[in-house]
Amino acid sequence: MRSKLALAMGLAALAVSVPALAEDKGFTLVLDRQSYTLEGDGHWVGLFENERRANDAEAARNGGRIDISYHASLQTLDIVEAETLKADGRRLPVARDKIIDIAPHASRDVALYTDLRTRSLVFPDVEAGDAIRYVYRLTRFDHIWPGFYWEFAWQPGLRVEQAERILDHPAALHVAVEADRTAHRIETYGDRVRHVLSWSNSTPVDPEPGTTSSLDWGPHAVLSTYSSYAEIGEHYARLHRDAARVTPDIEALAGTIVGDVSDPREAARLLYDWVAGNIRYVGVAIGQAKLTPVAASETASNRYGDCKAHVALLAGLLAARGIDSEAVLIDVGAARYALIEPPVPAFNHVILHVAALGLYLDSTANRTSFGVLPWGEYDKPVLHAVPGRSYTGRLPAEKADDNVAETHTVVTIGADGHVRGTTREVARGAMAMDLRGLANHLNAAKAGAQLRHFGSPGSGHWVKTALSPTAPEAMLTGEFELADAADLEAGEPLHPPAGLRFMVRPGAFLLDVQDTPHQHPFPCHAGRQIETIEVRLPDGLRPSRLPSDRHWETAIAEYRSSYAFEGGVLTVRREFEAHPQGQVCQPEQSVELMKLASRIRRDLASIVVFEPRS
């Protein structure tokens, strides 16, 4: 999914990410303290104190450099101290020429304008048993949201001796606090209040892959000066309303796109398709542009914009045709499925809601067709930013029949044993978005790679494609020839080839099943995957026996397979359907899903043995 950094919110101090640690390896966070002094106007100064000890040679080798990022248009960064603390008591300061400003880390294919800057500290002579200590100051001199908020999750995968988050603010400023499995004390002095949140961890645990965000279920803390989510929505609603204003050029553009179409749904579809197809996504994350949308007329002229600009332009075009819409704030950067209290503007993306049509639209996801959202947006909590009546809600959950992928492979095995075939893939809904994305730059090398990926080396090419996002379905048809011949009469087993395809086999992806039971909630998706393989055999060959038909199900998933032989053709059909009630599955469900996944893998590995011809 494309990054939505153009709507980056909140504090800009970025924690250094570190791996999970075994008990006697890695490093220990001796001190991890962040202290903020907040003033009534929302400006703050943060002092960050960090000390970490390398417990082994590998940690020492990998831990001698620290990168600190900040937003240059909103903050200043000052290094207060940086030194290596040797185990024998010596202190070796970081040399001035080892404090280096470096360019932001971004891949070349990301269209992004950002004020994010990074300062790198290179520590001298770090060995096992040594520690590094660094202190820096961030001063926020401007802000994009009018209030203050701060949310963070502790990291149980780290060994931590002392971690503290401190907020010092005027007593007259209301600050709501939530501390979940976090020590919290309040200190009052004069006309100011200090909140001290602390945590430690002596027994690190390995992080569990594939879970929802730990902010939904793990130890965390939140501080906020906002009174309600409606207050947050009102602020953005005013910015969006100004940017989406219908000007004469927007009125004229809408007329050109829609023509004499009067049906609101068809008009909305035409406008959506135009914005998605003609406005190139470019993230703009500089100063107030992190939050304030570019005016619709300017985006139409530039032919590029970020998510906020897309939404403002599409809203203006719809309004020009008498169709009301609402800006909707959402977090797509993490698998978060709960809005926490106290209220915080922890959103990084904007989409559009057209209530009269019952649709949510995301034109920046340019491989999705009208009315279809990317996987990571369904069932997410959202904030509708509507002047005078902002409100929280939830996006619709996925439906199995909306996200469908079908592959049909026809294989012919010649008398000489050579294997040739065709595969037709058809997908709709979010599955179609996946197929369009995977099928970029089709060529012979990609065909060979896909055949190898599915276990059948060979060569191939595609003869038909229909990948336009303006169509509700995506389709590919390819032809292939396998490198390995099949001598079935000699008793070689046949593993029916999956064909030249991109979509995964039935049972994969949707429920994200791991090899061990989940301990935490995990994302799950609704959809149907259908696979049909027909193998046309040389005359006179018959299977000695066929695998049994299978049917397994759990409360949220079902798998069926069938095997048939008639008229010299072996037909294998498999279908998997996932139908969870929402996009979050619970740990107890993973146990039965593991059993189902094991059975599916065995069925996909089924072989057929043939009798010698008489």
Q: What 3-state DSSP class applies to 427? A: strand
Domain boundaries, the chain: 5-225, 231-394, 401-611
Model confidence over 490-499: pLDDT tens digits? 999 999 999 9
Q: Look at residue 392 in the predicted model and tell me its pLDDT.
A: 98
Q: Whole-number mean pLDDT of the chain?
A: 92
Structure tokens at 403: 């996200």
Q: What's the CATH fold of domain 231-394?
A: C8orf32 fold (3.10.620)
Residue 478 banded pLDDT, cuts 50, 70, 90:
very high
Return the pLDDT at 26.
Answer: 86
Instruction: Give residue 463's identity as a one-letter amino acid code.
Output: V
Residue 165 has pLDDT above 60, yes or no: yes
The residues near 466 (Cβ < 8 Å, ≥ 6 apart) are: 473, 474, 475, 476
Q: What's 5's DSSP letter?
A: G
Three-state SS at 329: strand
Residue found by looking up tokens 């947006």 in the block: 377
CB 29 within 8 A of CB 160: yes
**Tokens describing residue 169:** 């603010």
Cis ω for the linkage preceding 342 (within 30 of 0) = yes
Placement of tokens 């996932």 in the chain: 578
Give the confidence band of 9 by pLDDT, cuts at 50, 70, 90.
Answer: very low
In this structure, are residues 146 and 238 in contact, taking their beta carbons and an 8 Å threshold? no
Do 515 and 582 meet the contact criterion of CB atoms below 8 Å apart? no
- Residue 208, CA distances (Å) to 18, 85, 134, 331, 520 in order: 15, 33, 30, 21, 8
Q: Name which residue leads in pLDDT, 421 or 341.
A: 421
CA distance 367 to 1: 11
DSSP state of 287: G
The strand pair at 381-385 and 326-330 is best described as antiparallel
Q: What is 5-225's CATH number?
A: 2.60.40.3140
HEC sequence for 386-409: CCCCCEEEECCCCCHHHCEEEEEE
Which of the four pLDDT bands, split at 50, 70 and 90, describes residue 520? very high
* 340/342 Cα distance (integer angstroms): 6
347-393: pLDDT as tens digits: 999 999 999 999 999 999 878 999 999 999 999 999 999 999 999 99
What is the structure's pLDDT at 366? 78
pTM, entire model = 0.90
Q: What is the pLDDT of residues 445-457, one digit of tens each?
A: 999 999 999 999 9
